[in-house]
Amino acid sequence: MSETTLRITEIFHSLQGESSTVGLPTVFVRLTGCPLRCQYCDTEYAFHGGEIQTLDKVLETVVGFGARYVTVTGGEPLAQKSCFPLLTALCDKGYTVSLETSGALPIENVDSRVIKVLDLKTPGSGEVSRNLYENIQYLQPQDEVKFVICDRQDYQWAQMKIDELALNEKVNNVLLSPSYGQQDAAELAEWILQDGLAVRFQVQLHKLLWKDEAGH
């Protein structure tokens, strides 16, 4: 049997910038490649290149940081088949593991111990047609659904989807983020308060701290 390998853009230790574990020291494993092209993408450097590494080498690097939380991200990590055994191996090692995924690829076979942070792409992203709604049935309570909001139309679309898909009955956290440099954060916060929307508002901590530098 051939050895499991992954194409890796970077592995680094930072503070979680998003989701309900925001602020926690976390190791990020960024897999190379993404089949989407969201207009606001801030990780275009992960579309190409990267380095082929064995699963064992990736695990060794993660262990070296001594953190408890690991986030597997991209690009779109599920575009690589070896992402599935990577997630399982990290869970087996006792890490709290989360997966950031675009929502465009099937999550059905992701290890059930993983916290899936699933995007639903809004019209403003330019990739709304890529949402794979079959994924919704595989969400577990510990998972999170994230909307990046580019404008008022996106906000109203998200509101509609939260209702239509009964997202608050499926997961404990529905996240709304303003698209950086496109949607005013305070304005989005006001809309959420006015409507009493049952969501968690978030701004990206790593953008506040480190702007767009790779490795954070």
**Site residues (vs ligand SF4, CB under 6 A):** 34, 36-38, 41, 43, 74-76, 102
Residue 100 beta carbon to ligand SF4: minimum distance, rounded to whole angstroms: 8
Helix or strand or coil: residue 15?
strand
Residue (53 or 125) nearer to ligand SF4, CB: 125
What CA–CA distance (Å, rounded) separates 190 from 166?
23
Residue (39 or 137) nearer to ligand SF4, CB: 39
| DSSP one-letter code for 179 | P
Residue 35 beta carbon to ligand SF4: minimum distance, rounded to whole angstroms: 8
Question: Residue 215: CA atoms inside 13 Å, Cβ hemisphere, count?
Answer: 1
Angle at 216 between CA 79 and CA 205, to 5 degrees: 100
Report residue 47 as tokens.
């579309």
What CA–CA distance (Å, rounded) separates 69 from 28?
9
Residue (59 or 83) nearer to ligand SF4, CB: 83
Residue 129 beta carbon to ligand SF4: minimum distance, rounded to whole angstroms: 13
Residue (53 or 102) nearer to ligand SF4, CB: 102
Residue 99 beta carbon to ligand SF4: minimum distance, rounded to whole angstroms: 13
